[in-house]
Amino acid sequence: MTFARTEFLPFSRPAIDQDDIDGVVEVLKSGWITTGPRTAEFEEAFRSYTGSLHACSLNSGTAGMHLVLMALGIGEGDEVITPSMTWGSTINMLTLLGAKPVFVDIDRYTLMVTPESVEKAVTEKTRAIIPVHYAGAPVDLEPLRGIASRHDLVLLEDAAHALGTKYGDEQIGSRGTAVFSFHAIKNITTGEGGMVVSDDEGLIEKVRILKFHGLAKDAWQRYSKRGSPQVEIITPGYKCNMTDIQASLGLTQLAKIEKMNEKRAELAALYDRHLSGIEEILHPRAPDYPHVHSHHLYIVFLDLDRVTVSRDGFLAELKKRNIGTGIHFRAVHTQEYYRTVGYGPGLLPETEWVSDRLFSLPLFPGMIEKDVCDVAGAIRDAVAAVKK
């Protein structure tokens, strides 16, 4: 091992500035820390940034997906078309609601579903399509909209990676229904958090009621001077509201999204340059239609034909060299539970090819060029150690 970096470089680190801290402290001192005025302000700022008509905040993207599916009445007997190359939360929510996830394969280079594979999977039982805007690139929305409208299906976009992403000139979230995540590694964070945006006011209203016990009004409406303490449960609901502490972070983070995404783009371009010529490392491709990438993740594939270790073995080599990495994602249909209910390897060849080879390199706004050089140096050194 010839490469040396003394300090561990994590795969991700949130970009928290003094203004983020000041905003949270202000809320803590304000006397109101749960869902309240900051949350309303954040929903409005987010709605305005994405150009959507309506927005509802939650305590995670997963909760957003869950409640939209519930609000749509998706459950027992329904099929929902989705990639397996995604975070397992969507598949878990479908399963918990009694619906059947119908996995479709992806294009190994864009990591996203293709309209052809989606169209083939439509049956009489299909209710919805949930494509994922992957790693910051937009899925090809127009053909998917066509399929949804021809078969009378809901198109529900998983936009967890896509804050600031554009499909052509269209900001993701500005049309239809999309779910965003503010988990700690996302392009903006509230620690944990999520937002559903939609042009369907009725849908957003249902999500709003489901997220807070099924009450027709939230705590701010009950306990503020203008509110009244009486409540009415109009349907059984959950408890997944965002707090004002989180929303304050959301507001200050959202104000910096363009700057932070620019920094991500610069780092991604540096990676492209510093990793070029390493034959053992393969690269996904950006979609060939016009788009703006939010560079949520920088993903590469290990060429297993050229090395003596598995992808996981290679990541252990990088860790020895003080470089953290991520796996986004292992195909959900290969996970233990989903193997026991009839899915499993062999189902989706392109997804499985990707699932065995991909990994994510450190990418966050606080990185400097030397960090990128270190990652590239560690990769070259690790490749030399495991080359066939």
Phi and psi torsions of 130, nearest 5°: -120, 90
Is 12 among the residues that bind ligand PLP (CB under 6 A)?
no
Please list the alpha-helical segments (H only) found in 87-193: 89-96, 115-121, 141-151
Is 253 among the residues that bind ligand PLP (CB under 6 A)?
no
Among 52, 62, 114, 174, binds ligand PLP (CB under 6 A): 62
Would you tell me how many other CB atoms lie within 10 Å of the CB of residue 364? Answer: 19
CB contact set of 21 (below 8 Å; sequence gap of 6+) = none
* Whether residue 125 lies in the annotated active site: no
Residue closer to ligand PLP (CB basis): 9 or 160: 160
**Nearest residue relative to ligand PLP (C-beta):** 61
Among 89, 177, 241, 252, binds ligand PLP (CB under 6 A): 89
Residue closer to ligand PLP (CB basis): 43 or 280: 43
Residues 164-203 that bind ligand PLP (CB under 6 A): 181, 183, 194
Q: Which stretch binds ligand PLP (CB under 6 A): 19-27, 87-95, 200-208, 286-294?
A: 87-95
Q: Which stretch binds ligand PLP (CB under 6 A): 15-23, 158-166, 344-352, 361-369?
A: 158-166
CB contact set of 85 (below 8 Å; sequence gap of 6+) = 106, 111, 132, 134, 329, 331, 332, 351, 354, 355
In whole angstroms, give the CA distance from residue 92 to residue 75: 12
Among 3, 42, 87, 212, binds ligand PLP (CB under 6 A): 87
In whole angstroms, give the CA distance from residue 275 to residue 303: 14
Query: Closest approach of Cβ 62 to ligand PLP, in Å?
Result: 3
What distance, in Å, lies between the first and last C-alpha atoms of the chain? 17
CB contact set of 82 (below 8 Å; sequence gap of 6+) = 90, 91, 94, 101, 102, 103, 104, 129, 130, 131, 132
Residues 276-315 as x/- pattern, contact with ligand PLP by CB under 6 A: ----------------------------------------
Would you tell me how many other CB atoms lie within 10 Å of the CB of residue 349? Answer: 11
**Given the residues 186, 206, 211, 263, the one annotated as active site:** 186
In whole angstroms, give the CA distance from residue 331 to residue 84: 5
Residue closer to ligand PLP (CB basis): 60 or 325: 60
Residue closer to ligand PLP (CB basis): 86 or 355: 86
Residue 366 CA neighbour count, 13 Å, CB half: 10
In whole angstroms, give the CA distance from residue 54 to residue 194: 14
Residues 105-144 that bind ligand PLP (CB under 6 A): 132
Residues that bind ligand PLP (CB under 6 A): 60-62, 86-87, 89-90, 132, 158, 160-161, 181, 183, 194
Give the active site residues: 186
